Amino acid sequence: MKIFPGRQSGAASELKSATFTGQVIVDPVMPTTDGVTINNVFFSPGARTYWHTHEVGQVLTVIAGQGWVCVDGETAQPLRPGDTVWIPQGERHWHGAAAGSYLLHTAISIGKTEWQEEVDNADYQAAQP
């Protein structure tokens, strides 16, 4: 058993850009352990991930704000505080803030993440109902 304090000790919050559109800040909760990574992720309004998949899966728990999660080929689904999302192995998706709100979620990623191309503005807007 391992116990980690409320957030990863000594780790700094990091402004991400290589696999995100817009301003996204990642705050590590737990260092990658046995293939599991846990981060709190803050998206500014309209910010989002690139398309990606997970080797085993991902759990998102929405803490605050509003956003979207979208599986490739489907309409984006709204995210609100208290929502929990299970994204299964290999499912191509993106997630991020709504255009008019920030989004804060805890992301539990299991296995490796395969990052793909950017979700462009037209696809981001078209995916939302």
Domain membership flag for residue 110: yes
CA 72 to chain CA centroid, Å, is 15
Q: Is residue 113 one of the residues assigned to a domain?
A: yes
Looking at the domain assignment, is residue 116 inside a domain?
Answer: yes
Instruction: For residue range 106-116, list pLDDT tens digits in order.
Output: 999 999 999 99
- Count of domains observed in the chain: 1
Partner residues linked to 8 by β-bridges: none
- Which residue bears the tokens 């255009």? 99
Mapped onto helix, strand or coil, the DSSP state of residue 123 is helix
Would you say residue 8 lies in a domain? no
Query: DSSP label at 5?
Result: -
Q: What range defines the domain where residue 99 resides? A: 14-127
The predicted-structure confidence for 68-101, as pLDDT tens digits, reads as follows: 999 999 999 999 999 999 999 999 999 999 999 9
Residue 66 covered by a domain: yes
The answer to whether position 42 is within a domain reads yes
pLDDT, position 13 = 83
Tokens, residue 59? 């759990």
Kindly report the number of other CB atoms within 10 A of residue 60's CB atom: 22
SS3 of 126, please?
helix
pTM greater than the 0.85 cutoff:
yes
